[in-house]
A and B are shown apart, each in its own frame.
Chain A
Amino acid sequence: MCADLSGIEPVIYKSGINVPYHWWAGDTASAFLTALRDRQTITAIKCGSCGMVFVPPRKTCPQCFTPNTQWLEVGPLGTVTAFTVARKQLAAIKDTVPVVFALVKLDGASTSMLHKLLLQNPSLAKAGMRVKPRFAQDRTGTILDIQGFEPA
């Protein structure tokens, strides 16, 4: 900075970006989300080459680089493969902390899905615990149609 600009008050310009989007979820995710909404079931898709079962479903297999075609139902029971108890109210967290985030591997799936655990006592969360989904009363075709997973 030039010497003759030293001591200048830094002017802060406050602004923000608020751009609405309406993303087409794609046919694969649409099938998954409508199954949550209408049937309260968690659907998966299987690779015809390697047999991997993807939850949430993907249109193509990232390993085989081929289209996935075979739909199936997984769960509803699953196993927690990783978790954390968020204690600080970080800006992205919409619920009041403590909030338990987890990866849940549903029975029959090869991958884990990211979601929340609904626990009376968050400190009891642990890897390996068996859980089942609790569906929301009002379902609108989003990932939050599952409220979270609770002990099975």
Chain B
Amino acid sequence: MDRCAIIGFGMTAIEARKPGSTFADMVWEAVNKALDDAGITIKDVENVITTSNDFFDGRTISCMAVGDASGVREKNCSCTEGDGTFGAFYGLSRILSGAYGTTLVTAHSKGSESVSSLITNAAFDPIYERALGLDAITAAALQANAWMKATGATSEQLAMVSVKNHGNARHNPYAQLPMEITVKDVLESEMIADPLHKLDCSPVSDGACAILIAREGLVKKGRKKPVWIGGVNFCSDAYFLGDRDLAKAPALTKAAQKAYSMAGVANPAKEIQAAEVYDAFTHQELMWIEALGLAEAGQAGADLAKGRFALGGALPVNPSGGLLSGHPVIAAGLYRMAEAVRQLRGEAGAAQVDGAKRVVVQGMNGLCGQSHCVWVLESGK
């Protein structure tokens, strides 16, 4: 693969609601922050990918609503539906085709403006499943029970993920829910769907994120250190939940193995210094850690309890505070990439992981994590 780097990023603060901002306002803010960060102008961009979801936005061809804010006029713009990491994957693929230069990827959503339960219910098959009344949360709860039964993970271990991530968010100026909480607080929060309490679930959020990617020859001597793309891969699992073993995430394992192989990583648990993973629910962070090869199968909960994934631990996971501290669906994975860039540049402030040279990022879309996109990002070439 030709060497490509992330040369800039921009994030809006993640908030429960942004009544003062339209989709375009949020994207405009993120794009201009990214351009400033990279020290380039919109004229230097020739390839734009926007990422959005029509149902969340409540409009057909939702990507077009943010075209002007993304500076697409008279440029080649294409759109992705799903997670922002999928948009970034598409943007990178277009660079690698040889046909495109510096690439802007945006992603946005405003969970506050609709009803997430109804929208995620519509992800179920309309003929066989939708009328049953499940949504993303109740589906995740099925998965959580199945995974806990298979691995012996406990509700206390799940709660520790929430405590860690909300605690990490105290150092993140973009986070929605920085909180100092205890395991007891999580376990005593409202039971939404067994075994997931309110504080086991990520909140409804608004936000937009943008990143800029360039091929090595176009990485100018900008004001910031480029963050190199060492490896990337994308893999999907079966659509129907009943076709999968919900206690496992083989698609993520496969995507991770291929991304590590591309990056020359033989032992991810030792060669990666931090991870930003898709912690939409507490159990998912632990599941994804294992599927990413960062812990032995069934050991993530015990490793967490020993402090291995905490700030200052051997392998901090979601030092940004993760999605439990703010979950703008669609943009969420792109935020993870931007947070990894902050780490690799040494800009993460009190959440900085010492010696972070290689960070793994996971984006996800689909019920219980049907599709996964894994990025290995590096500070040096």
Contacts and interface: CB of A to CB of B under 8 A. Distances in A.
Nearest to A112: B242
Contacts, number: 124
B131 A87 contact: no
7 contacts: A62-B243, A84-B193, A86-B192, A91-B121, A102-B142, A103-B246, A114-B124
Interface residues on B, range: 35 or more
Interface residues of A, number: 45
Interface of A: 1, 8, 10, 12, 15, 17, 21, 23, 25-26, 29, 33, 54-56, 62, 81-88, 90-95, 99, 101-103, 105, 111-116, 127, 142-144
B148 to A, nearest CB: 10
Interface stretch (B112-120, B261-269, B299-307, B344-352): B112-120
A142 B132 CA distance: 11
B117 A92 contact: yes
Given A91-B115, A92-B121, A114-B134, A143 B129 contact: yes
B246 to A, nearest CB: 5
Nearest to A8: B20
Nearest to B55: A17
Contacts of A21: 126
A91 B242 contact: no
Interface string B178-194: 00000000000011111
Contact of B242 (A17, A25, A93, A103): A103
B127 A103 contact: no
A105 B241 CA distance: 12
A113 to B, nearest CB: 5
B242 A114 contact: yes
Instruction: State the main secondary structure of chain A at its contact with B.
Output: loop
B242 A111 contact: yes
B142 A25 contact: no
Instruction: State the main secondary structure of chain B at its contact with A.
Output: mixed
A18 B175 CA distance: 34
Given A92-B135, A115-B132, A127-B146, 12 more contacts: A10-B20, A29-B127, A82-B142, A83-B142, A91-B121, A92-B138, A101-B138, A113-B128, A114-B129, A114-B240, A127-B149, A143-B132
B167 to A, nearest CB: 25
A84 B238 contact: no
B51 to A, nearest CB: 21
A23 to B, nearest CB: 6
A12 B19 contact: yes
B149 A101 contact: no
Interface in B1-55: 19-21, 25
